[in-house]
Structure 1
Amino acid sequence: MKRYIPIEIQQTFRLSLCILATLLPIAGFSQHLDSLEQVLKTQKLTDTEKMKVLDDLNWFYNSIDADRSIAFGKQGLALARKTGDEKVIATFLKNIGIAYYMDGINDTALIYLEEAKPLVEQLDDYRMQTSVYNAYGNIYRVQSLYGQAIENYLNAAKILEAKNDINGLSLIYSNIGGAYQIMTNYEQALVYFGKAEQLAIKTNDQDGLGSIYVSLSDIALYQGKPLRESIDYAQKALDIFQQTGNRLFENKALTTLAKVYYYHDDYARAEPLAEQAAAEAKELGFDHYIVEALELVSKINFYQGRYARSVELAEEILTIDTTDINPIRGAYSTLMVANAYLGHPQMTRKYAEKYAETIDRYVNETFQGSLSLMEVKYQTEKKEFKIAALEKQRQLHIWLGIAGSVILLIALAFALIRYRLAVSRRKLAEKEAQRLEQEKQLVAVQATLDGEAAERTRLAKDLHDGLGGMLSAIKMNLPQVKGDALLEAVDVTRFQTALGMLDDSIQELRRVAHHMMPESLLRYGLKVSLTDFCTAIPTADFHYFGNEARLPGKMEIMVYRCIHELVNNALKHADASHINVQLVQESDRISFTVQDDGKGFDQERVTEGMGLQNIRQRVHAFQGKLDIFSSREGTEVHVELELTKNEQHD
Structure 2
Amino acid sequence: MKKYVIIPFYIVLFLLSFTVHGQEQLQPLEEKLEDSSLTTEERLTLYDDLSWEYLNYNFEKSVSYARQGIELARKDANVNMETRLIRNLGVAYYMNQMYEQAADQYDRAMALAITNKDESMQAAIYFAIANMHNATNNYNKAVENYIKAIELFEKTNNKARIIVAKANMCSMYIGMRNYAVAEPLAKEVIALAEEAGDEFTIGQGYNHLMIIYYAQEKDDECLKYAHKALETYKRLDYPLEVFTAMIQVGRVYVRQGKTSEALDFVRQALGVAEQTGYGQYIVEAKEMLARVMLTDGKNMQNAENLALEALQEADTTDYRMMVNLSDLLLKIYIKRGNGTLANEYEQQKHHWLHKIYETDLANAAREMDIKYETEKKEARIVYLSEERKLYFILAIVGGSGVILLIITLLLFNRYQQLKRLRIQEQVEKLKQEKRLVAASSLLDGENCERGRLSRELHDGLGGLLTMVRLDLTQVKKSISNESQKLEEAITLMDKSIIEMRRLAHNLMPESLARFGLKPVLEEFCKGSERVNFHFYGEERRYDEKIQVNFYRIACELINNALKHSDATEINVQLILSPEKLSLTVSDNGRGMGDAEAKEGLTTVRSRVELLGANMNIYSQPGKGSEITIELTVKQ
Look at both structures and tell me which one has the larger radius of gyration over its CA atoms.
2
Higher relative contact order (CA 8 A, sep 6+): 1
